[in-house]
């Protein structure tokens, strides 16, 4: 197995043009953008930690505008992949995950040629805003194009999943179901689109809340919850009930029902996290205040609900007419750093590059 080394000389190779004349046919530099996604019924528990196979299915929405732009440049001079994230060399943990994605793309392409990878996030990392989901969906889309591998979006989601489980849901846009799958090799644990952004053009307000003490990364947190949280298996059972309820609410465009099941599922995941030893407390004071505020708004007829991943930031999903009221009510809460008004958006796609 090749060691993917951040300190290899080749970080600079990203700036160098690829010697296209020498690259095998079909290989070229490619760039892709992928959005973050937020789960409505969450993924918190794996049946396979290497392949990121979940214990339960999950449902998500892609969020427009926020995400990761990634360029993949195959390069015959490299003997290992190199990667810059926001212009800094990727750390060893990120390189291991990138290596899994790139190995599978190389195997499909039947080549040993390595690549320089450059990723730029338009969303802060480690705030619970799924930057790893957008990063690996963008990598899968750009790398398959760069190596000339043609896959449908379902198969592409399986490649993105190798980097980060939730990344498979950022390949498709709109409302997405990630199947648990039964096979050990993960070939049936793929994501599929269940409704487009145009089918149900919901709005989203991203409530950025600054990071407190260093958080436990999702994969590590899931392992700890599985080993120690008394609520873990109850949460997994809950997901098997919540996913069909989410799908039903999406199919009938029933906002109230979607809000009810999504908030309940989010809080059940956080209850599982809180009961882990040591307790995984991802919330800040502002996180809790935002939840109360959204519920107060809803009590007076504002169509909005919240959901939170493994971090302090909150995503408020709402109908178009509710956006102004939500922003006014939440904007003044101490600890809220920024609000981003956005909407349910499209999935990973190739973009022109220089
Ligand atoms: C709380 O996909 O980041 O956001 O597969 O280990 O990379 P890995 O985990 P990751 O976990 C996401 C957890 C979550 C819930 C969700 O997105 O469903």
Which tens digit of pLDDT belongs to each residue from 31-48? 999 999 999 999 999 999
Pairing of strands 58-75, 175-178: antiparallel
Helices (H), the chain: 92-109, 131-146, 153-163, 218-228, 232-251, 255-274, 285-299, 323-331
Please state the pTM of the whole predicted model.
Answer: 0.92
State the distance from the centre of ligand 1 to the C-alpha of 67, rounded, in angstroms. Answer: 15
* C-alpha distance from residue 215 to each of 177, 199, 219, 294, 334 (Å): 27, 36, 12, 25, 21
Domain ranges of the chain: 2-350
Instruction: Answer whether the bond into residue 278 is a cis peptide, omega within 30°.
Output: yes
Task: Enumerate residues lining ligand 1, CB below 6 A.
Answer: 39, 42-44, 52, 58, 130, 132-133, 164-166, 218-219, 309-310
Helices (H) and strands (E) in the chain, counts: 8, 14
Q: CA torsion, points 291, 293, 295, 301, in degrees to nearest 10?
A: -150
Residue written as tokens 């930031």? 313
Is the pLDDT at 128 greater than 90? The verdict is: no
Average of per-residue pLDDT values in the chain = 91
State the distance from the centre of ligand 1 to the C-alpha of 62, rounded, in angstroms. Answer: 14
Is the pLDDT at 21 greater than 90? The verdict is: no
Q: For residue range 157-179, what is the model confidence (pLDDT) as tens digits?
A: 999 999 999 999 999 999 999 99
User: How many other C-beta atoms can be found within 10 angstroms of the C-beta atom of residue 24?
Assistant: 13
What is the pLDDT at residue 134? Answer: 95
Pocket test for ligand 1, best of 310, 311, 313, 314 (most atoms within 8 A of CB): 310
Closest CA to 263 of 240, 286, 251, 246: 246
On whether the CB atoms of residues 144 and 152 are closer than 8 A, the answer is: no
Nearest CA to ligand 1 atom 14: 309
- 340: which residues sit within 8 A by CB, 6+ positions away? 65, 66, 205, 206, 208
* C-alpha distance from residue 204 to each of 101, 223, 335 (Å): 30, 30, 19
DSSP, collapsed to helix, strand or coil, labels residue 119 as strand
DSSP, collapsed to helix, strand or coil, labels residue 126 as coil
Mean of pLDDT values over 63-81 = 91
Instruction: Tell me the fold of 2-350.
Output: Ribosomal Protein S5; domain 2 (3.30.230)
Instruction: Give dist(CA 332, CA 339) in Å, integer.
Output: 10
Residue written as tokens 């220089």? 354
Q: For residue range 234-291, what is the model confidence (pLDDT) as tens digits?
A: 999 999 999 999 999 999 999 999 999 999 999 999 999 999 999 999 999 999 999 9
Instruction: Give dist(CA 20, CA 189) in Å, integer.
Output: 36
Closest CA to 266 of 293, 292, 238: 238
Is the pLDDT at 74 greater than 50? The verdict is: yes
What pLDDT band is residue 12 in, cutting at 50, 70 and 90? very low
Is the pLDDT at 349 greater than 50? The verdict is: yes
């Amino acid at each position: 197995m090749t060691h993917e080394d951040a300190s290899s000389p080749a970080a600079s190779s990203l700036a160098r043009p690829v010697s296209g004349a020498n690259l095998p046919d079909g290989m070229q530099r490619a760039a892709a953008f992928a959005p973050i996604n937020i789960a409505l019924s969450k993924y918190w528990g794996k049946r396979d930690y290497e392949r990121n196979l979940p214990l339960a299915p999950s449902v998500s929405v892609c969020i427009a505008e926020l995400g990761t732009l990634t360029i993949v440049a195959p390069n015959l001079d490299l003997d290992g992949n190199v990667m810059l994230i926001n212009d800094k060399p990727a750390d060893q943990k990120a390189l291991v995950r990138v290596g899994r994605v790139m190995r599978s793309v190389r195997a499909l392409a039947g080549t040993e040629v390595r690549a320089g990878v450059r990723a730029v996030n338009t969303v802060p990392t480690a705030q619970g805003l799924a930057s790893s989901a957008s990063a690996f969906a963008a990598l899968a889309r750009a790398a398959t194009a760069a190596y000339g591998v043609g896959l449908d979006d379902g198969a592409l989601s399986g490649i993105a999943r190798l980097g980060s489980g939730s990344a498979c849901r950022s390949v498709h846009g709109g409302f997405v179901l990630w199947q648990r799958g039964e096979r050990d090799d993960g070939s049936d644990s793929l994501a599929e689109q269940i409704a487009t952004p145009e089918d149900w053009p919901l709005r989203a307000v991203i409530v950025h809340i600054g990071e407190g003490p260093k958080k436990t990364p999702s994969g590590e947190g899931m392992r700890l919850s599985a080993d120690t949280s008394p609520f873990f298996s109850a949460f997994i059972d809950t997901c098997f009930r919540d996913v069909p309820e989410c799908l039903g609410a999406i199919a009938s465009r029933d906002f109230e029902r979607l809000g009810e099941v999504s908030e309940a599922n989010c809080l059940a995941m956080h209850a599982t996290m809180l009961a882990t030893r040591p307790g995984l407390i991802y919330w800040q004071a502002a996180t809790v205040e935002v939840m109360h505020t959204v519920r107060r708004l809803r009590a007076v007829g504002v169509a909005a609900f919240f959901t939170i991943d493994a971090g302090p930031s909150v995503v408020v999903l709402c109908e178009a007419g509710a956006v102004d009221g939500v922003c006014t009510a939440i904007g003044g809460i101490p600890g809220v750093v920024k609000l981003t008004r956005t909407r349910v958006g499209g999935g990973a796609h190739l973009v022109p590059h220089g």
